[in-house]
Amino acid sequence: MYKVFLVDDDELILDQIVNTIPWMENGFEVIGCESDAVVALKKVFEIKPHVVFIDLKMPKLDGHSFIHSVREQGMDTEFIMLSAFGTFEDARTFFQQDGFDYLLKPLQMQEAQMVLEKMAEKLIRKYPMLTEYEEEIVNPAFAELTDYLQNSFAEKFTLEELSKRFGISAGYICNLFAKHYSTTLTRYVTRIRMEYAVSEMKKKELSLKNIATACGYRDYFYFNKVFRGYYGEAPSQYMKNMDAVS
């Protein structure tokens, strides 16, 4: 599991982020949060999280100064900026400090999910297979779980529901995905959905909106964003390119 630390001077925002984002499904664990940026900086130096979600505008120490202090210590921590009113200059400064991405407040769950998936993908490349268990043989219950996902990827489910259904602890499920597939539960399901979407496009029997629904996306615009993030272009453009080479 990748370690996350949250910094925001609004404690209500911190509570929202901690309690509403599906951290474990995406391979993350929140190991701390702090509303005082100065105190948070000391804790980050001690804990050395993989990712810090950082508010941009805070008293005592703003987000840019916070990141600068961490970089001065030679820490390779990833940063995701939180901002309610960021400017172009703020964004440019953030990315010049090797910031990864930013989220606007109030947080939109779909946007947060997309950023987490991209973050997990990067961390898997940086720190492959961060698992707590050593197991060469695939757990039979885990094999049943992955078979279920292969056939039921359009359904809605949570990590807790899968844990109860297949009798595997939530943390163990996450570790098994990291070990055997070098990915997270959420990213694994996204891959299945995207591959299915492309297979349906090749058949040319369903509209893109119907393909999105068949993949488990009720919101076509969200499907469009996920597809673009996965393949680098919108579904409509992907189909045009597919037709051009066929």
User: To the nearest whole percent, how much of the chain has pLDDT over 70?
Assistant: 94
Q: Among 103-107, 111-115, 134-138, 200-204, where is mean pLDDT lowest?
A: 134-138
pLDDT number for residue 71:
95
Per-residue pLDDT band for 129 (boundaries 50, 70, 90) equals: low
Cα–Cα distance for residue pair 106/53, rounded to 1 Å? 14
Amino acid, res. 63: G
Those residues with Cβ within 8 angstroms of residue 118's Cβ, 6 or more apart along the chain or in another chain: 100, 101, 229
CA-angle at 10, arms to 8 and 16, nearest 5°: 85
Cα–Cα distance for residue pair 154/57, rounded to 1 Å? 39
203-233 confidence digits (pLDDT tens): 999 999 999 999 999 999 999 999 999 999 9
231-240 confidence digits (pLDDT tens): 999 999 999 9
According to CATH, the topology of domain 187-245 is Arc Repressor Mutant, subunit A (1.10.10)
pTM for the model: 0.82
| In the predicted structure, residue 131 carries a pLDDT above the cut 50 | no
133-167 confidence digits (pLDDT tens): 444 556 899 999 999 999 999 999 999 999 999 99
pLDDT number for residue 133:
47
pLDDT number for residue 245:
73
Amino acid, res. 78: E
Q: Do domains 2-126 and 187-245 have the same CATH topology?
A: no
| In the predicted structure, residue 46 carries a pLDDT above the cut 90 | yes
Start-to-end CA span in the chain (Å): 42
Helix (H) or strand (E) holding 46: helix 37-47
- Does residue 3 come out as left (phi exceeding 0), alpha (psi in the -120 to 50 range) or beta? beta
Residue ranges covered by each domain of the chain: 2-126, 140-183, 187-245
According to CATH, the topology of domain 2-126 is Rossmann fold (3.40.50)
Neighbours of 241 (CB within 10 A): 12
Amino acid, res. 195: E
Residue 106: asked if its preceding bond is cis (omega within 30°), the reply is: yes
